[in-house]
Chain A
Amino acid sequence: MTYLGMRADDTSRTVERLEPLLQDAFPDATEVSVVDRTGTGDHFHVTVASSRFDGLSLVDQHRLVYEALSEPLADGTIHELRITTRGVK
């Protein structure tokens, strides 16, 4: 994927690529949202609420999100990632 000349439909495609990765990693999630913060398809804020986070430290909660998004993080699709996690208890 190229950053130069990225069109609006490309950026929404990136959001559409990230959401399923999160839904697969957190099948019980009561909330999964991916917001393109800058409209450029590379700065995202993801929010996930899942029972997988119950009892985990914030570091370990965020590690699970990084794990779920390891591929787009590694290939440069995600330039910046903000994370909000919540358990359900």
Chain B
Amino acid sequence: MTELADRIKHVIDDEPVALFMKGTPQMVMCGNSHRALEALRRAEAPVTTVDILPDPAIRQELSAQSGWPTIPQVFVRGELVGGADICEELEASGALERTLEEKLGPGYRESREEKVVSVL
């Protein structure tokens, strides 16, 4: 496994909620990344974001690992939740918060923060 693949895998596996997006929470570069981030914010999730724009290899390796062709991609405890459409749909029905409670514990909102990490 390349170092990049390894670092992506670590983010997916180790971060409670990982959001691979275009840009950062401070400067979102794509409407769909914005939609996913906002759904996670409404659910009051702790979010660790990775900007995929600095190197096309990030997106290639991420999609190879997840089998998901588009950006954004949201993972909770290592499991792919989906892209922007699914996050919005799950948030609107309350299912996103239930998933977060199940996987991160009922007190997940207390650890709420937005982190930016690099995989390069």
Interface 9-residue window, one of B1-9, B41-49, B76-84: B76-84
* Chain A interface bracket (under 10, 10 to 19, 20 to 34, 35 or more): 10 to 19
Please tell me if A84 contacts chain B, counting CB pairs below 8 Å: yes
Interface 9-residue window, one of A5-13, A14-22, A23-31, A59-67: A59-67
Interface of B is mostly: mixed
Please tell me if A73 contacts chain B, counting CB pairs below 8 Å: yes
Q: Which residues, 59 to 89 on A, are CB-close (under 8 Å) to B? A: 59, 62-63, 66, 70, 73, 80-84
Instruction: Select A58's contact among B32, B68, B86, beta carbons within 8 Å.
Output: B86
Interface size on B, residues (CB 8 A): 14
Do A66 and B90 have beta carbons less than 8 Å apart?
Answer: no
Please tell me if B89 contacts chain A, counting CB pairs below 8 Å: yes
Please tell me if B85 contacts chain A, counting CB pairs below 8 Å: yes
State the CA gap A37–B91 with chains docked (Å): 23
Do A62 and B82 have beta carbons less than 8 Å apart?
Answer: yes
Contact partners of B67 in chain A: CB under 8 A: 63
Contact partners of A81 in chain B: CB under 8 A: 70
State the CA gap A57–B83 with chains docked (Å): 13
A sample of 11 inter-chain contacts (CB < 8 A) reads A58-B90, A59-B82, A62-B82, A62-B85, A63-B67, A70-B69, A73-B70, A80-B32, A81-B70, A82-B85, A83-B85
Chain A residues close to B by CB (< 8 Å): 58-59, 62-63, 66, 70, 73, 80-84
Q: Given A62-B82, A73-B70, 9 more contacts at CB 8 Å?
A: A58-B82, A58-B86, A58-B90, A59-B68, A59-B80, A59-B81, A62-B83, A63-B68, A70-B69
